[in-house]
Structure 1
Amino acid sequence: MTEVESASTSASSEKDRMEAAADASKILSQGKRNLVCGEVPAAVNQFQEACKILAKAYGETAKECAEAYFYYGQSLLDLARMETGVLGNALQGVPEEDEDTSKSADEQFENGDKLDEGEEQEGDTAEEGDTAEEGDTAEEGDTAEEGEEEAVEGEDTAEEGEKSKEQKEEDPDDVSNLQLAWEMLELAKVIYLKEEDKEAKLKAADSYLKLGEVSLETEQYEQSISDFNECLKIQKTVLEPQDRSLAETYYQLGLAYCFHKLYDESIDSYRAAIKVLEDRIAKLTDIVKGGGDEKETADSKGMSVIGLVETNL
């Protein structure tokens, strides 16, 4: 291959990358908007598409893919939480439906008993005897049929259990949303840690924060405590002591300590979060007061100038 051909090939590949980056950027923007608006399933699909485009253009471990990986993992975490909430709400409604069903069944039985009593009063004594003999024979037949039906149902249940086991064995590679979220966030974290600028460090800290939240959802409390502490370590080197991000991380860390039954450490983390917020409030209050004093000084100066002008006139 000549130098001209290699140059044209590299130029065309660079052009393809730029086009892919532009397309991925549009899809990422749409995904972020849907994530903010609560359209989480649509956001998941868009972030997934952006990851595919960028990974194909730059490679799976390229720094250009880190943002897409991060938001894809975050949206998967939100989707897993939504699914858990929907399942919980569905289960809460089940007992109520059972109660309604049982009540209607009881009413039917009561009405049936009343009808049976009326019919028995209207019938003759001889007919009652015949009915009793026929009823005994019918009950014996029904009992035999019910026994056969229960046996068939037992066989069907066993077959269904075997089928479900076979399906589980056939699909061992199925990955839950939480597992996939952890993988995406871990990949984003690794890419961000390779960079040295402030923005990349903050993104790495955010990745640690979301990884800790995933570990909380999966009840891996030791891992979540480790992730939150790593997040704090990075944030303390980059952010101001009164930054709200520190307060959020302290809160999540306190939550992890609480679930892990380390209550003293949990209280310390919550107190640290409160202190960060109190210091931030004090700083903002000082800024507001300082701005007010400067405004008053400017107003007084303006009035004095107006007074001098009026005197000269």
Structure 2
Amino acid sequence: MMADVIVDSESTDSKELLAQGIRAFYLQDYEAAVVALSRASELMVAEHSNDQHEELAEVYTYYGKSLLGLSRQQNEALGDAVPRNVEESDEDEGKASSAEDEDEEASKEGEAAKQEEKEEESSNERNGTGDEASTSKGDSTDDGKGDDEPTDLQVAWEVLELARKIYQRQGESSSKNLADTLVVLGEVSLESEIYDSAINDMKQGLEIQKQLFGDDSRVVAETYYKLGVAYSTNTQFDEAIESFQNSLQYLRNRISSLQKVKPNTDAQKEEVEEIEGLIPDIEEKVADMKNCKDEAIKKISEAVREVTRSAAPAGQASATSRPASDISHLVKRKRKAEDDPEDQTAAKQPSMS
């Protein structure tokens, strides 16, 4: 386990806070990184009296990345912890009730009901649906907090947007940083379930990366993979398949490039092994997307058939119910002229005029 980074949140040294924040980010101590980088950005804005000064681009980028990492970390922890905590609390309540009451089952039910009420209260407070929570939300709204307070992902998007604007102004010299920021913006939108925006930002970042790096770049391979995930989440299966396959091609090109270098160092061999370990997972993604596509087509076809059957007019049903040998409904009625030989002869005479 990596050691936590100690951050002095009262420090007035913006450069030192930036260094601490970057170190914490790479050590995946996102909470410490957010504290350090939030403070650093606050100090830098005050120093330059401008929230879009070019020196703020780096701190904004790492601040946004750290907020994204923290949001993912908290979601994963919440998903894992909630069921386990509920089970443990149920067991504890069961033990306590059996010791305090002769009627064990009745006590367990009573304690379980209390536990449910507590959990519901806690949930209501978190979601702002309970009476007390509503009051407290109303009070805090007056102070400009509560419902109006942005989430980590919203703040991440805002600071990354500021970084993007700064890098765009800096021009070609900041192309690499701009591409990186666009891809992270896409990831933030993906986490926020804004899929079109996620895909658009990632595609823009990818196009810049393809111009900067070769056809064996792991950076491009990673972005293609992230784009594939965005497409798959948005049920764009063909695009997802293409993106995952492009990611595979870049990784295979990387292996080929590494193997061509002689002599092969241990570091090169390790990288080849690492990439070879990634390839099966991406191939499985491609297979999954193909299965999802086939299943989606099947469901659409079944739905269309069902709609067609239910929408068929009554007359159509009677027309199609005739025996196959009965073709009377297909034969046109004879014209009256065909019943009169003289009229028929006259009709066949060519006009000489």
Change in Cα spacing, 1:255 to 1:159, as seen in structure 2 (3 Å) is closer
Q: Which residue of 2 aligns with 1:186?
A: 161
Deviation at 1:260, TM superposition (A): 0.5
Under a length normalisation based on structure 2, what TM-score does the superposition of the two structures give?
A: 0.58
Change in Cα spacing, 1:164 to 1:281, as seen in structure 2 (3 Å) is same
Uncovered stretches (5+) of structure 2, i.e. residues with no partner: 1-11, 105-120, 122-128, 266-353
Aligned residue identity for 1:181 = A
Deviation at 1:183, TM superposition (A): 0.4
Deviations 1:252-295 (A, max 9, x none): 0000011101111111100000000100110111113599xxxx
Aligned residue identity for 1:201 = S
Aligned residue identity for 2:22 = K
Higher relative CO (CA 8 A, sep ≥ 6), structure 1 or 2?
1
Aligned mate of 1:163, from 118, 135, 149:
135
| Equivalent residue pairs, number | 227
Q: Which residue of 2 aligns with 1:85?
A: 76
Q: Which residue of 2 aligns with 1:123?
A: none
| Alignment root-mean-square deviation, CA | 2.8
Runs of 4+ in 1 over 4 A off after TM superposition: 105-111
| Cα distance in 2, alignment partners of residues 77 and 180 from structure 1 | 9
Q: Tell me the SS of whatever aligns to 1:196.
A: helix
Q: Tell me the SS of whatever aligns to 1:195.
A: helix
Aligned residue identity for 1:74 = K
CA contact (8 A) 2:21 2:32 kept: yes
Aligned mate of 1:46, from 36, 55, 62:
36
Uncovered stretches (5+) of structure 1, i.e. residues with no partner: 1-21, 114-152, 292-313
Change in Cα spacing, 1:77 to 1:101, as seen in structure 2 (3 Å) is same
Aligned mate of 1:29, from 19, 25, 47:
19
| Cα distance in 1, alignment partners of residues 134 and 21 from structure 2 | 41
Change in Cα spacing, 1:27 to 1:102, as seen in structure 2 (3 Å) is closer
The 5 A counterparts of 1:258-297 are: 258-288=232-262
CA contact (8 A) 2:141 2:148 kept: no
Deviation at 1:37, TM superposition (A): 2.0
| Cα distance in 2, alignment partners of residues 101 and 108 from structure 1 | 11
The 5 A counterparts of 1:1-313 are: 23-58=13-48, 59-97=50-88, 99-101=90-92, 103-104=94-95, 107=98, 111-112=102-103, 159-160=131-132, 162-164=134-136, 166-167=138-139, 169-170=141-142, 171=145, 172-198=147-173, 200-288=174-262
Larger relative helix fraction: 1
Aligned residue identity for 1:207 = T
